[in-house]
Amino acid sequence: MTNRTAFVTGASRGIGLACAKGLAAAGAKVVLAARDAARLEAAVSAIPGAAWVELDLASPDSIKAAFQKAGRVDILVNNAAITKDNLALRMKKEDWDAVIATNLTGAFLAIQQVLPGMMKERWGRIINISSVVGEAGNPGQANYVASKAGLIGLTKSIAQEMGSRNITVNAIAPGFIETDMTAVLADELKAGMLARVPLKRFGKPEDVAAAVRFLASEEAAYITGHVLDVNGGMYM
């Protein structure tokens, strides 16, 4: 991936940071993007040659400014996401809107920012981080599930539009990955989820990063419109 620039959203921690480290190890110049500047600065210090930009995916202006600052992007990893869980009956419209705006609309607007440059270069990799719940559903997460299912549909549509330009667009659907977001879940809930995983362990951010690294590589040049499950067999 020498001479390739990778832009990773939600890269200040967890899966996003692992993806940034994996792509940097493969030779890419990496730009880390997230809302928390202090976390980004700390994250970048561990990745030689990396840069960072502040990015709020709920703000179209912030998205434009971040990509202008980053310059040419060859590899886009749409990883940033938020949750505002509740049962559908009780879910506030603003919580629905906020999750869709960041997780789905923000990812779409980020894709729009990188497509002109990728089309000009006739090379590009777009990797959208969906979720196992986007395939299987999950009670109490109608907004999050809709956003992640929407990412899968978005992936397949853009893959068809951009195939002739040598731009591949794929999605990764992680299962239960050990991150700050999942660390706060009750032990009883974790035990119930683990029982559904044939490999009998939860995933690590590096498991997702390895899949991202592969889909961004030349070895994956003939793969597009695909959803790669990284879930230990939790959903098949």
Cα torsion angle, 80, 17, 75, 156, sign: negative
Q: How far is CA 234 from the centre of its chain?
A: 19
Alpha carbon distance 228, 157 (integer Å): 16
Specify the pLDDT at position 207. Answer: 98
Specify the pLDDT at position 198. Answer: 97
Marked catalytic residue, from 7, 52, 144, 202: 144
Alpha carbon distance 179, 173 (integer Å): 15
What is the pTM assigned to this prediction? 0.96
- Structurally, what CATH architecture does the domain formed by 5-228 represent? 3-Layer(aba) Sandwich (3.40)
Q: Which residue reads 């070895």 in tokens?
A: 219
* 197 contacts 231 by C-beta, under 8 angstroms: yes
Known catalytic residue: 222? no
Please report, for residues 33, 109, 168, the alpha-carbon distance to residue 221 in angstroms, rounded to integers and kept in the order given.
25, 24, 7
* 75 contacts 5 by C-beta, under 8 angstroms: yes
- Averages of pLDDT over each 10 residues, the chain, 236 residues: 95 96 98 96 94 97 98 98 97 98 98 98 98 96 98 98 98 93 81 93 97 98 98 96
* 172 contacts 211 by C-beta, under 8 angstroms: yes
Specify the pLDDT at position 190. Answer: 86
